[in-house]
């Protein structure tokens, strides 16, 4: 999938907020609507798109005396978005900081330490702000 396709899937606030909430254990439609603040029609659309893309998987559940409903759990593809969410959180803390605390911080369950996103080369070197980063871009019509 090209970056442009990923941006079309996650290019608005609602899709990534749904992924964040699912990662935090919020799985049911009414809970997702409450925690994200998304309008019903928007949330329905984002859930459908995220299921179609393989980011979320619907699972049926039944409350006593009620009809079957769907809850949504992250797939491996959905869990692979956690570094993206951590990177957004880190960026917001650095560049949009104000007096409010961060709404979500990512911590290692083992020690409680902060978990952030970092660029790491295949050779194991961590890429820092001062390092030169080169991107190879494949465009249509170029060999």
Judge whether residue 86 has pLDDT over 80.
yes
**CATH at 57:** 1.10.10.10
Structural domain contains residue 122:
no
Give the angle subtended at the CA of 16 by the CAs of 30 and 68, to the nearest 5°: 30
**In total, how many domains does the chain have?**
1
Q: Is residue 61 part of a domain?
A: yes
Are residues 47 and 22 in contact, defined by beta-carbon separation less than 8 angstroms? no
55 within a domain of the structure (yes/no):
yes
**Is the residue at 35 inside a domain?**
yes
DSSP state, residue 96:
S
Instruction: Tell me whether residue 126 is in a domain.
Output: no
Residue range of the domain that includes 17? 1-115
Reported as a pLDDT band with limits 50, 70 and 90, residue 137 is confident
Task: State how far the Cα of 110 lies from the Cα of 129, in Å rounded to an integer.
Answer: 28
Look at residue 101 and tell me if it is in a domain. yes
Q: What is the pLDDT of residues 112-126, one digit of tens each?
A: 998 888 888 899 988
The predicted model scores a pTM of: 0.83
- Angle 132-133-134 (CA atoms, 0-180°, nearest 5)? 120
Question: What is the reported pLDDT for 143?
Answer: 58
Residue 91's H or E segment, with its range, is: helix 82-95
Contact criterion met (CB below 8 Å) for 43 and 79: no
Select from 20, 40, 19 the least CA-distant residue to 29: 40
């Amino acid at each position: 999938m090209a970056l442009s396709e990923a941006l079309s899937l996650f290019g608005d606030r609602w899709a990534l907020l749904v992924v964040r909430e699912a990662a935090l254990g919020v799985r049911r439609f009414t809970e997702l609507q409450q925690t994200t603040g998304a309008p019903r029609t928007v949330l329905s659309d984002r859930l459908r798109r995220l299921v179609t893309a393989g980011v979320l998987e619907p699972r049926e559940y039944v409350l006593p005396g009620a009809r079957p409903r769907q809850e949504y759990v992250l797939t491996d593809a959905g869990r692979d978005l956690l570094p993206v969410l951590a990177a957004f959180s880190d960026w917001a803390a650095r560049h949009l900081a104000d007096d409010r605390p961060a709404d979500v911080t990512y911590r290692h369950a083992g020690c409680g330490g902060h978990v952030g996103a970092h660029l790491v080369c295949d050779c194991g070197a961590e890429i820092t702000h001062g390092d030169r980063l080169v991107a190879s871009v494949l465009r249509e019509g170029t060999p």
